[in-house]
Amino acid sequence: MLGGLVHRLWLIVASPLGSLDADEAVTALMAQRFLSLEPSVFFWGQHYGGTIDAMVTAPVVWLTGPSVAGPKLVAVAFFAVSCVLTWRIGRHLFDDQTGIVAACLLWVASPAVVWWSTKTRGFYGAGLVLALAATLIVVRLSGRAAPERDADRRDRRDMAALGLVTGLAWWTTPIAFFVIVPVLVDGAWRRRDLWRFSGLAAATFVVGGLPWWVFNVSRGFASLHSPVTADMSYLERLDGFVSVVIPMLAGFRTIYTADWAVPPLVAAAAGAGVLLVAWRTRHRASLLLAVLVGYPILAAVSPTTEFVGEPRYAYFLAPFLALLLAHAVSRGLGRFAVVVPGALLVVTIVGTVALARFGADSRHWDLAAPATGPLVAALHRDGIDHLRAEYWLAYRLTYESDLVAAPTESSRDRTIDDEVRDSGSPVVAFYRGSAAERRFAHDTGSARVIYEDDDYVVYVVAPDDGRRDPRSE
Spatial separation of the C-alpha atoms in residues 60 and 53, rounded to whole Å: 11
User: How many Cα neighbours within 13 Å face the side chain of 458?
Assistant: 25
Q: How many separate helices (H) and strands (E) can be counted in the chain?
A: 21, 5
pLDDT given at position 453: 92
pLDDT digits over 159-209, tens only?
Answer: 999 999 999 999 999 999 999 999 999 999 988 888 999 999 999 999 999
pLDDT digits over 285-339, tens only?
Answer: 899 999 999 999 999 999 999 999 999 999 999 999 999 999 999 888 888 888 8
- Reply yes or no on whether the pLDDT at 98 is more than 50: yes
Nearest to 178 by CA among 237, 219, 231, 119: 237
Q: Is the pTM for the entire model greater than 0.85?
A: yes
pLDDT given at position 468: 52
Please name the residue ranges forming H helices in 48-95: 52-64, 69-93
pLDDT given at position 416: 96
- Residue boundaries of the structural domains of the chain: 2-234+336-359, 373-472
